[in-house]
Amino acid sequence: MKPLFAALALALAAGPVLAADADEGSKHPFSIRDLVMLDRVGDPQLSPDGRYALYSVRSTDYAANKGSTALYVLDLSGSTQPVKVVEKGSSPRWSPDGKSIYYAAAKDGVSQVFHRAFDAGKGGKGLALTVAAGEAVTDAPLDVNAFKLSPDGSKLLLSYEVFTDCPDLACTKERLDGREKDKSTGTVYDKLFVRHWDTWADGRRSQLFIADANAPSQPVLLSRGIDGDVPSKPFGGDDEFTFSPDGKTVYFDARIAGKTEPWSTNFDVYSVPADGSATPVNLTADNLAWDANPLVSPDGRTLFYTAMKEPGSEADRFGIMALDLASGTRREVAPSWDRSAGALQLSADGKTLYTTTDDNGQHPLVAIDVATGKATTLVTDGAVGGFSMSGSKVLLSRDDLKRPADLYTADLKGKGLKQVTHYNAKRLKNAQVGDFEFFTFKGWNNETVQGYVVKPVGFKKGQTYPVAFIIHGGPQGAMTNSWSYRWNAQTYAGQGFAVVTVNFHGSTGYGQAFTESISGDWGGKPLQDLKQGWNAALTKYKFLDGDRACALGASYGGYMVYWMAGVWNQPWKCFVDHDGVFDARAMYYDTEELWFEEKENGGTQFEHPENYERFNPVNHVKDWRVPMLVIHSGHDFRIPDTQGLGAFTALQRRGIPSKLLHFPDENHWVLKPQNSVQWHETVNAWLKQWTAK
């Protein structure tokens, strides 16, 4: 389930007012109106010569109720301001020689790969670039899901969603068009997934193709015979496939679907000739757990990838593996580094791996020596998102609890960290945010547990403030020093609430044993940590008004809210539950990713029903008494909305003050800007109603 919080939202009665620039007017507490209009900087790409930053910026079109993404280039020599080079596009990438930019954009309603020349201007001084449409280099009848250029820039890897029995892309398009014309609407399924995340299955698979970069015409299928998705659904990207340095071999990861896809996490890494002359070869068949993110050393001799060791787990530690491609021997690069690696990048000499990870409330950039396995934290005190390296420089996005992402540069040892973009500076100039502080306490088994407190905007010493006690999702996730466009502590601080969070047993960033300790014990150790963390916060921070506090959570956090409603409801004036698990037994049969349920409950429900009942909130409804706001969405297939409807039914039948906010068009997250505003305003009104003096 991962840290699947839910996006927060609400349709404004005075909608047009929101579109006004948030940087105008007098100082004011940070609000949801500020949050939804912020520019979102991401996908940083450093040019091969290290001089230019290419990246995306998502802005909000509130009237259209959606985001719009443009692409920018920044001269890192400091001589220019960012220049918009593509009005609407995504996935910006440099050509290997730095003379071109590739990106994805719509053409006639279909996503294609585009190309435009990069000319920095006369003498290379300043940027003489302008917005340009570029030239489409693909002309497929289907949307491109992801792409990657070969090391020499001559080939393109392309992912398309196709019917695997079709001989070409046109066949898939014809079949889809035929379905549109068919008056009958029924679909017959003979295996799971019938739906996943927020989409019903239609028989297509994301498959990997290769084509000439300048004349792609009909691409060649590389993932022939792979009954799986490349990249994986629903969140996979171009980190899941790559070229060898000579461009002759392609590596990718995939999970074979068959009849076991919903209860399997057995991803494997495959190799295939780049000309498609042979079928893919499984390089990690001996590991029945998750292998991912292949990356080849500059000399072409070693394949690095991340690997879990426990089959059926999505929250096991991703270790870093090194496979000698000649001998087939493999080793773990940093077995004593007790953190889980993200996607990998390599230094030019192949001696250092770079990745990001959760670590004690932060999400730093980490360098790992390939020879010794020594891990060195390079950039911390916040959350590092995407990053890109060239020569002796790294370009990265970074955010924290007080500010959204901007781009920074540093050397490959993390020294000389410098902020190079300042998006939202004007908007945030007058939007005041709350200060924060991490704290630790003794939780379950007298072990150290971490949390943080955010002070309300306008904090005055000697006064007390109502509290929003936020419980994170996942459950294998964490509330870190990072900015969020869903569960953002500053939206509560701006409403006059102090915020308290606890990274209970099960959270990431404190060692794998700490993370694994929640499985089979959802209502045990985590609840004890929450209780002791709440008491520790009240003792340490006298400005917290323990008599005016509400608990909020989504996904696993929503499960915990339902659990607390029956077994720990004394301190709380109200609850807010978003997409929570209300009935563990029904959840097993209603959800899609069964591996998660079976791992967390020690097997299937029909073989181990007692495990599902041990911490089942539905069994404690008779003890519910606290007013609750329930929020759920119609396209949430991870925790279907029948869970929220069941909880609301229980509340109404018990006569407990309650409301239900239902979004028919959202998934496990609430993403549309106007829905996000509605979410926040509904939640804020609920909190204020029950914590008023």
Tens of pLDDT, residue by residue over 410-423, are: 999 999 999 999 99
Mean pLDDT of 114-142: 79
For residues 181 and 16, the model is more confident at 181
Whether 327 maps to a domain, the answer reads: no
Whether 682 maps to a domain, the answer reads: yes
- pLDDT at site 18: 41
Mean pLDDT of 209-224: 90
Peptide bond into 234 cis (omega under 30): yes
**342 within 8 A of 354, measured Cβ to Cβ:** no
Mean pLDDT of 155-176: 97
CATH code for position 600: 3.40.50.1820
User: Does pLDDT of 5 surpass 90?
Assistant: no
- pLDDT at site 120: 75
The torsion of the CA quartet 126, 130, 135, 137, rounded to 10 degrees, works out to: 50
- pLDDT at site 579: 98
- pLDDT at site 22: 41
Whether 419 maps to a domain, the answer reads: no
Question: Active-site residue numbers?
Answer: 555, 636, 668
Which residue range is the domain that position 482 belongs to? Answer: 429-691
| Strands 28-29 and 431-432, bridge-based pairing | parallel
Given pLDDT bands bounded at 50, 70 and 90, which one contains residue 217?
confident
> Which among 428, 371, 388 has a CA at the least distance from the CA of 404?
428
Query: Among residues of the chain, what percentage have pLDDT more than 90?
Result: 92
User: Does pLDDT of 16 surpass 50?
Assistant: no
CA–centroid distance for 301 within its chain: 32
Domain count, the chain: 1
CA–centroid distance for 610 within its chain: 33
**616 within 8 A of 587, measured Cβ to Cβ:** no
Mean pLDDT of 77-105: 93
Query: Among residues of the chain, what percentage have pLDDT more than 70?
Result: 95
The torsion of the CA quartet 535, 537, 542, 544, rounded to 10 degrees, works out to: -90
User: Does pLDDT of 1 surpass 60?
Assistant: no
Given pLDDT bands bounded at 50, 70 and 90, which one contains residue 73?
very high
Given pLDDT bands bounded at 50, 70 and 90, which one contains residue 121?
low
Mean pLDDT of 261-285: 98
Residues in Cβ contact with 437 at an 8 Å cutoff, skipping those fewer than 6 apart: 452, 453
- For residues 671 and 679, give the distance between their C-alpha atoms in angstroms, rounded to a whole number: 10
Whether 677 maps to a domain, the answer reads: yes
Q: DSSP 3-state assignment of 496?
A: coil
Average pLDDT value over all residues in the chain: 94
pTM: 0.95
Mean pLDDT of 266-279: 98
Whether 391 maps to a domain, the answer reads: no
pLDDT tens column, 182-216: 999 999 999 999 999 999 999 999 999 999 998 76
Q: DSSP 3-state assignment of 528?
A: helix
- For residues 270 and 645, give the distance between their C-alpha atoms in angstroms, rounded to a whole number: 43
Question: What value, to the nearest 5°, has the Cα angle with vertex 336 and ends 332 and 342?
Answer: 65
Whether 572 maps to a domain, the answer reads: yes
